Amino acid sequence: MKPRVVVTRNPPGDALRRVREAAEVWVWPENRPIDRMVLHTQIAEAAGLYCMLTDQVDTDLLARAPLLRVVSNMAVGFDNIDLAACAERGIAVGHTPDVLTDSTADIAWMLILGASRRMSEGIDVVRSGGWGEWNPSWLLGRDVSNTTLGIIGMGRIGRAVARRAVGFAMPILYASRSDKPDVEEATGAVRVSLRELLVRSDHVLVAVPLSAETRHLIGRDELELMKPTSNLVNIARGPIVDTDALVDALTAGVIRCAGLDVTDPEPLPSDHPLLDLPNCTVVPHTGSSTWETRAAMADVAADNLIAGLDGAPLPYRVPGT
Ligand code: DGY
């Protein structure tokens, strides 16, 4: 008999075809995150879970999944999964790094450029009929080329952003747990403390995973350290930045602007104060949302799941599980 697998959202591409060859598959049929009660019922006999970053894999869920052997998250981030609880049960956890590095680095650049050059304000004004005669002092943004980029977290995505920064002739500072000599050699990046990075950078990019250690890593004190002309870009996870502190900083001009692919909460309600701020550019967690990348993520998640069902090493296993 084939093992049973629960898939919480239909992924793009044909990844599920391969999963169906290996397992008896149940897929949540709706185009919204799976209903928690339905997941609780479906997981009871599952050996594998193919899930999304919107699904909380916590002790409550695991307690209802006595047969579970593998959790495959179709995301690089895994803050939605209780890793310790999975490790305790010997459940392998897979994720999808590498394949989304370039698309996520690209969106970081979209936000660095878009926020600095006031792109969303420009689009709004054109759409609303407010585009008047050319004006020498209208919608002035800030330069990107030749300004300093600070990258918090020099993992795969941080590196890909740094590589692109060379084309903009930007000095790069980075804050990381360890030296990255290869990046330093390739891009001229210099490792500094988080404090120094915040003080010296014109653009601060958040590219660390969310953990207990990084929750609210950027709060009021950190925003106060930044230049009043600076730009904060978050492409990692919303809760790494204290949202209330960011709203206040953008309102008071403590920093000049922000570009966010991720927010806290998510989705951001349409009446959220961040959306009233012209100096805040928000896109809806679309860092990896290209056809190519999402299909590749779906494939890697399928590979991880199938390996886990077979008791084989996962191509991309989350360390520690
Ligand atoms: C991830 O994979 O963790 C990303 O946030 C999805 O875009």
- pLDDT tens digits, residue range 155-189? 999 999 999 999 999 999 999 999 999 999 999 99
Mean pLDDT for the stretch of residues 254-271: 98
Closest CA to 93 of 113, 79, 112: 79
Q: Which residue has the tokens 């209780």?
A: 82
Active site residues: 237, 266, 285
Confidence (pLDDT) at 320: 85
CA distance 223 to 221: 6
Locate 234 and state its tokens: 């978050």
CA of 131 to the centre of ligand 1 (A): 36
Mean pLDDT for the stretch of residues 49-69: 98
Start and end residues for every CATH 3.40.50.720 domain found in the chain: 4-99+292-310, 101-282
Confidence (pLDDT) at 113: 98
Confidence (pLDDT) at 66: 98
Atom of ligand 1 nearest to the CA of 237: 5
Does ligand 1 have an atom closer than 6 angstroms to the CB of 100? yes
Indicate the CATH number of 101-282 among 3.40.50.720, 3.30.360.10, 3.40.50.2300, 3.40.50.2000: 3.40.50.720
Write the single-letter amino acid at 154.
M
For 20-40, what is each residue's pLDDT tens digit?
999 999 999 999 999 999 999
Residue 209 predicted with pLDDT over 90: yes
CA of 136 to the centre of ligand 1 (A): 40
CA distance 210 to 263: 12
Confidence (pLDDT) at 321: 87
For 279-316, what is each residue's pLDDT tens digit?
999 999 999 999 999 999 999 999 999 999 999 999 99
Mutate to test the pocket of ligand 1, among 54, 72, 104 (most ligand atoms within 8 A of CB): 104
pLDDT, averaged across the chain: 98
Confidence (pLDDT) at 34: 98
CA distance 47 to 198: 46
CA distance 114 to 125: 15
CATH topology of domain 4-99+292-310: Rossmann fold (3.40.50)
For 108-133, what is each residue's pLDDT tens digit?
999 999 999 999 999 999 999 999 99
Q: Which residue has the tokens 């959202």?
A: 9
Does ligand 1 have an atom closer than 6 angstroms to the CB of 280? no
CA of 106 to the centre of ligand 1 (A): 13
Mean pLDDT for the stretch of residues 79-97: 98
Does ligand 1 have an atom closer than 6 angstroms to the CB of 75? yes
CA distance 90 to 38: 24
